[in-house]
Structure 1
Amino acid sequence: MFRKSGLLLSTIALAQFLVSLDLSVVNVGLPAIAAGLGFTAPGVTWVIHAYALTFGGLLLLGGAAADRYGRRTLLIGGLTVFAVASLAGGLAQQPAHLIAARAAQGIGAAALAPAALALLSAGFPAGRARVRAFGVWAAVNAAGGALGVLIGGALTEWAGWRWVMFVSVPMALAALAPGLVLPADRPVTAGRPDVPGALLGTAGMTLLVLGIVRTHPYTMIVALGLLILFVLVQRRTTHPLLRPGLLANRSVAGANLFNLLAGAGMASSFYFASLYLQHVLGHGPARTGLMFLPFALGVVAGAVAAIRLGYRLPARTLLIGGGLLTAAGFALFGRITPDGTYLGGVLLPSIVTAIGFGLCLGPVASTATTGVAAPEAGTASSLLNSSRQLGATLGLAVLGTIAGADHGLGLTLCGALLLAGVLLAALVLPRRTAPVTVG
């Protein structure tokens, strides 16, 4: 039993590391990618948006498909698509080729991420094992996002930007190998997933981001129309991607509201901090990536601390406390100036932010799947991933438009988003949640 649970946890950890890595690995390499393929300044941000939008927009479909066709099946299929798309991205010769490859990566991630989290939730249903499993998941999730900046910077400077894409191929294969020997699971729902609904939702979110980035009101109006149509379709279809009653679960609703705003703040902070270190302080891609290492270590430390504290404190307490500490770190970050230094303006804030974020990662994932029936575990898992990715995309679009080249303002706004997330979590999450019983 221990060996089976260890295999399951290691497979899910590898898959989640890959998904998180690719959300941030291109950030430091964006200037080199733009120069290499001839992107315009606004156009190169779509290297990030293409992945995040297809990932976030199709996650609910991926979760429903995992419940319908089997989570192991979706995990293996998603990893295969991800590996092929990563190879294609590294071979791209034009901007459109790379954007298409990043979109395909997002499709693969939308299949594998909810399947992996649903397998984790089912494999570790309660007790100390669940706290430990979600703590490991949180640490790997955070480490992938933080180390992605380090890996991306080193590869961009020493091997070329194409290796930012190529690096995901062996990682996907490494996660695929143990995934193939996992026992097959049975579908837990019937009926076909709502593909039209997924397409409407993804198209609406894509146009919304495009309208924000280009400040085009007509595009945003069309986007809102598509999103309203998506809601109407979900209310009338036999097998909706998101059953409205699921959000009546206060744990699910509160965790996802926090995750939406935390995802917006964290993704935007990587963008602003990377540009500040390169464009203002004048560091190269490799050194910039190395400067994110304390952040990566801080997130892992926070996640490990959350495992220990999770035996004694409710997940709600850890989520709110970690969110407040993250917001405090962003407040320190917002004090950076053009004549500042890495030690004075970046290192301390990044450590505070990282520990706070690590503290709340595991609790928010555990909370978002608490009290959810087995047939909807995939949907709840996909909703959590979706809220984070859509938050990341919208946050970058909105804050990038508002702050422009004012990196300090952008990071201050990231803190404001975290505070709003903490407030919503405090209001929505149920108060009566008990810590794990030790025994």
Structure 2
Amino acid sequence: MRRSPWATLAVLALAQFMVVLDVTIVNVALPDMQVELGFSADNLQWVISAYTLAFGGFLLLGGRLGDLLGRRRVFASGLGLFTAASLAGGLATSQGVLIAVRAVQGFGGALMSAAALSILTVTFAAGRDRNIAMGIWGGLAGLGGTLGVVAGGVLVDAAGWEWVFFVNVPIGVALLALTPSTVGDSRVVTDGPRSFDVLGAVLGTGSVLAIIYGVIRAESQGWGSAEVLSSLVGGAALLALFIAAEARSTSPLVPLRLFRSRTLSTSTAALALNGGAFLAMFFLSALFLQQVKGLSALETGLQFLPMGIAAIAGAMVASALVPRIGTRPTQVVSAVIGVAGLLLLTQASATGSYVTELLPGFLLYGAGIMGIGVPAQIGAVSEISHEDAGAAAGIVSTGYQVGGALGLAVISTLATSVVTSSLTAGATQVEALVDGFHRGLLLAAVLGAGNLLLAAASRQLVPTEEELAEAMAVA
């Protein structure tokens, strides 16, 4: 059957749009979920972390499964899992069920996203058509993140928090129906035994889960408690086993030799810090706007919208600047802008004006994070061969997701401890929440400052327009 590559692109890009939409659409529903399902302040972050951890932890495995089992089969399986988990999320009646469902959503999203990117790569030949396809793919993904906060607000206010999950179901069912006729199948042909490195995926994800669990429990149990120490030590042990397993595997998920590349290592670290600061800022700001400022879910989404627009503009400006002044100056200036935005947000009060206290910080931060992301993606593949480009892109994506989950865990836990201390000292509920918000944003700024140091130490690259398009397509 002859299939139009542009019809293939439409199905795959809409699926990716839905995956990215789900990251932000849930944030504005968090306060309603907390009230209805009885989440504690420290457990609430698992609604976000369970998704990002499973997504980041299984992206590499998803790509490998698609190569060996067939990319369309893995894409459809991931889409089906994501859709079914969305239905279950809307029907969840307890926090444990919702967190488990979010993890399944993340796993399905990882299979779907990794396979879809591989399908696009083999559907469009290198050059103009592939660059256009990747631009549409990336543009819809960015638009999904921006529209998610507004769509979430509309759905929560009009129908309830359950609909941030239910909205995925008809889209997912329609895409599943269209997949056989629009998406061709492909796989890597190999004469040797198939190796999926499931052990590597389990050890890597398990290690991060254990470490994050230990960080979260530290707020209530104390850093020296047996539960926290055993979780942190167990996570470190699993991480060591993961590294050993990857070093011995004939088909590793993470080829450790790639980390000999200084630019790949620094780029992955930069994107991990970016992810940690962003998820923590988004999580804390959504709670601040609704629990402190008293805004509805829709009003909260609309107040985030300028940040999304600034992020899109920041990506466009960074893409134009990099071929002219290089990656390092672009990244350094963007890191400074991002930190300035976070520091401005630490001055926000319960009664202050949105225009003067929040909007400037949101605009600066939105532009800054994309100004870091674009040159970091370029640097990540600059020293990597074409044969390893897919693995390098997977490492970078995983670093961003796992860094986001870790950063969210650490910052939200420490912010919650400040809220508890303020309440104990006699502060009102609103005063305590403001104190926690300020501390969390200050910690996010510390991550941003770390990114500034990484940017200053990174290699200076000045890619041509063609190299820029190729790097952005792969990353």
TM-score by length of 1: 0.89
Aligned to 1:327: 339
Cα displacement (A) at 1:377: 4.2
Cα displacement (A) at 1:35: 2.3
Output the CA distance in 1 between the equivalents of 2:134 and 2:331: 13
Equivalent residue for 1:357, pick from 366, 369, 377: 369
Aligned to 2:440: 410
Give the alignment of 1:160-239 within 5 angstroms.
160-173=160-173, 175-176=175-176, 179-180=179-180, 181-187=182-188, 191-215=194-218, 216-239=228-251
Aligned to 1:41: 41
Output the CA distance in 1 between the equivalents of 2:325 and 2:78: 35
8 A contact 1:135–1:304 mirrored in 2: no
Change in 2 beyond 3 A, CA 1:323/1:75? farther
Output the CA distance in 2 between the equivalents of 1:297 and 1:182: 32
| 1:328-371 Cα distance to aligned partner (Å, 9 max, x none) | 32222222123322111111211122223334444444543455
Output the CA distance in 2 between the equivalents of 1:142 and 1:367: 20
Moved more, 397-406 or 67-76: 67-76
Output the CA distance in 2 between the equivalents of 1:120 and 1:363: 23
Output the CA distance in 2 between the equivalents of 1:329 and 1:22: 25
Moved more, 242-251 or 345-354: 242-251
| Count of aligned pairs | 437
Aligned to 1:436: 466
Change in 2 beyond 3 A, CA 1:435/1:316? farther
Output the CA distance in 2 between the equivalents of 1:295 and 1:429: 29
Give the alignment of 1:39-438 within 5 angstroms.
39-120=39-120, 134-173=134-173, 175-176=175-176, 179-180=179-180, 181-187=182-188, 191-215=194-218, 216-309=228-321, 312=324, 314=326, 318-370=330-382, 372-373=384-385, 376-404=388-416, 405=433, 406-429=436-459, 431=461, 433-436=463-466
Cα displacement (A) at 1:130: 6.2
| 1:124-143 Cα distance to aligned partner (Å, 9 max, x none) | 77666666555544443333
Change in 2 beyond 3 A, CA 1:381/1:27? same
Cα displacement (A) at 1:376: 4.0
Cα displacement (A) at 1:166: 0.9
Aligned to 2:427: none
Change in 2 beyond 3 A, CA 1:133/1:414? farther
Change in 2 beyond 3 A, CA 1:403/1:210? same
Output the CA distance in 2 between the equivalents of 1:30 and 1:388: 22
1:183 aligned counterpart, secondary structure: coil
Moved more, 107-116 or 352-361: 352-361
Moved more, 147-156 or 161-170: 147-156
Change in 2 beyond 3 A, CA 1:11/1:320? farther
Q: Which has the bigger relative contact order, CA under 8 A and spacing at least 6?
A: 1
Identity %: 37
Output the CA distance in 1 between the equivalents of 2:323 and 2:129: 11
Aligned to 2:421: none
Query: For the pair shown, which has the larger CA radius of gyration, 1 or 2?
Result: 2
Where structure 2 has 5 or more consecutive residues not aligned to the other structure, the ranges are 219-227, 417-432, 470-475
Cα displacement (A) at 1:195: 0.7
8 A contact 1:268–1:395 mirrored in 2: yes
| 1:49-76 Cα distance to aligned partner (Å, 9 max, x none) | 2112211222222222233334343322
Change in 2 beyond 3 A, CA 1:298/1:219? same
8 A contact 2:71–2:118 mirrored in 1: yes
Output the CA distance in 1 between the equivalents of 2:22 and 2:101: 12
Change in 2 beyond 3 A, CA 1:17/1:344? same
Change in 2 beyond 3 A, CA 1:173/1:361? farther
Moved more, 21-30 or 308-317: 308-317
Matched letter for residue 454 of structure 2: L
| 1:73-124 Cα distance to aligned partner (Å, 9 max, x none) | 3322211211111111111222222122111101111112223334455667
Cα displacement (A) at 1:209: 0.6
Matched letter for residue 108 of structure 1: G
Where structure 1 has 5 or more consecutive residues not aligned to the other structure, the ranges are none
Give the alignment of 1:9-24 within 5 angstroms.
9-24=9-24
Cα displacement (A) at 1:294: 1.2
Change in 2 beyond 3 A, CA 1:324/1:342? same
Output the CA distance in 2 between the equivalents of 1:107 and 1:235: 25
Cα displacement (A) at 1:194: 0.8
Output the CA distance in 2 between the equivalents of 1:370 and 1:52: 27
Output the CA distance in 2 between the equivalents of 1:437 and 1:431: 11
